């Protein structure tokens, strides 16, 4: 089985930097995804990590440490439109007959204030 | 190109009724998925399909069934709806293979009374 933990809520100020953490326990880690979900909308893909290290994509970066079962999503130069939920999802090599089946954490609701 | 669509957008349903949620994608993705999203519980996988003609059970399959007659369509059926099935339902699709992200439909908000 898998256990994925994220903070429920975070608040940050426009223009600042925020780090959203995700810890996971899985028997056969095979990749970690971050998704953004605005209220009332569908999740949209942000990043994918399968090897240790930092993946940078514009204002967003995602980091992975497989040995620690830990990832974070870093958002720089926060904008009001970044107010959304951020979902961490893990793919497990075991129990994954679909090959790309994901288990999601509960999500972190980020509120950006002026 | 629409991507992935779902219907209806929302529905209020009496308990005990049968309901089919529709999902169609035009990206020719092999894999498709159905999730439900409830406050505090995140997205939970109901059923999935690797390719047309095959389906599998996810984390919370009880009370739901799916079929995959072709690549594009992946309907989800509630045979006899119960109030605990009140939720937002998302359909998703992806290419097979490592690292391929899932693309989500706009969701169906279902209320069972």
Tokens of A93: 């090599």
Q: What is the phi/psi pair of residue A81, to 5°?
A: -70, -10
Does the distance separating the beta carbons of B33 and A31 come in below 8 Å?
no
Alpha-carbon gap, residue B35 to B91, rounded angstroms:
6
Cβ neighbours of A106 in B, within 8 Å:
40-42
Interface test with A, best of B27, B33, B66, B102 (most A CBs within 10 A): B102
H or E, element range at B108: strand B108-112
Region A78-105: what's the mean pLDDT? 84
Residue for token digits 């529709």? B22
E runs forming strands in B14-98: 19-25, 31-38, 42-49, 56-57, 64-66, 76-78, 87-94
| Per-residue pLDDT at A14 | 97
Facing B43 at nearest CB: one of A41, A45, A104: A104
Does the distance separating the beta carbons of A106 and B41 come in below 8 Å?
yes
Report the b/e string of A73-100 with b at 16+ CB within 10 A. Answer: bebeebeeebbbbbbbbbbbeeeeebbb
Compute the C-alpha angle B45/B48/B51, nearest 5°. 160
pLDDT tens, residue by residue, B74-97: 999 999 999 999 999 999 999 877
pLDDT tens, residue by residue, A14-30: 999 999 999 999 888 88
Q: What is the DSSP letter of B73?
A: B
pLDDT tens, residue by residue, B9-53: 999 999 999 999 999 999 999 999 999 999 877 899 999 998 999
Alpha-carbon gap, residue B110 to B85, rounded angstroms:
8
Report the phi/psi class of residue A102: left, alpha or beta, with left for phi > 0 and alpha for psi in -120 to 50: beta
DSSP string, A85-106: EEEEEEEESTT-TTSS-EEE--
Residues of A with CB under 8 A from a CB of B: 8, 30-31, 33, 41-45, 48, 50, 87, 89, 91, 97-107
Sign of CA dihedral A60, B90, A10, A69: negative
Facing B104 at nearest CB: one of A8, A31, A42: A42
pLDDT tens, residue by residue, A47-69: 999 999 999 999 999 999 999 99
| Per-residue pLDDT at A96 | 58
Compute the C-alpha angle A88/A105/A20, nearest 5°. 45
pLDDT over 60 (residue A76): yes
| Per-residue pLDDT at B15 | 98
Band the pLDDT of A85: cuts 50, 70, 90: very high
Q: How far is A13 from chain B (nearest CA, A)?
A: 24
């Amino acid at each position: 089985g898998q256990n994925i933990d994220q903070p429920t809520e975070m608040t940050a100020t426009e223009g600042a930097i925020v780090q959203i953490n995700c810890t996971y326990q899985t028997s056969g880690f095979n990749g970690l995804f971050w998704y953004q979900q605005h209220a009332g909308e569908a999740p949209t893909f942000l990043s994918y990590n399968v090897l240790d290290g930092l993946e940078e994509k514009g204002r967003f970066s995602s980091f992975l440490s497989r040995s620690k079962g830990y990832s974070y999503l870093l958002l720089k130069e926060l904008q009001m439109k970044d107010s959304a939920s951020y979902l961490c999802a893990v793919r497990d090599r075991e129990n994954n007959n679909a090959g790309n089946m994901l288990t999601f954490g509960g999500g972190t609701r980020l509120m950006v204030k002026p | 190109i629409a991507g992935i669509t779902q219907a209806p957008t929302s529905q209020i349903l009496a308990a005990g009724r049968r309901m089919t949620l529709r999902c169609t994608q035009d990206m020719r993705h092999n894999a498709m998925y159905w999730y439900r999203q409830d406050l505090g519980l995140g997205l939970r996988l109901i059923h999935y399909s690797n390719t047309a003609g095959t389906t599998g059970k996810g984390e919370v399959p009880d009370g739901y069934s799916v079929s995959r007659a072709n690549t594009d369509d992946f309907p989800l059926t509630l045979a006899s709806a119960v109030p605990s099935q009140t939720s937002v339902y998302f359909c998703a699709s992806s290419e097979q293979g490592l690292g391929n992200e899932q693309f989500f439909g706009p969701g169906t908000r279902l209320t069972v009374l």
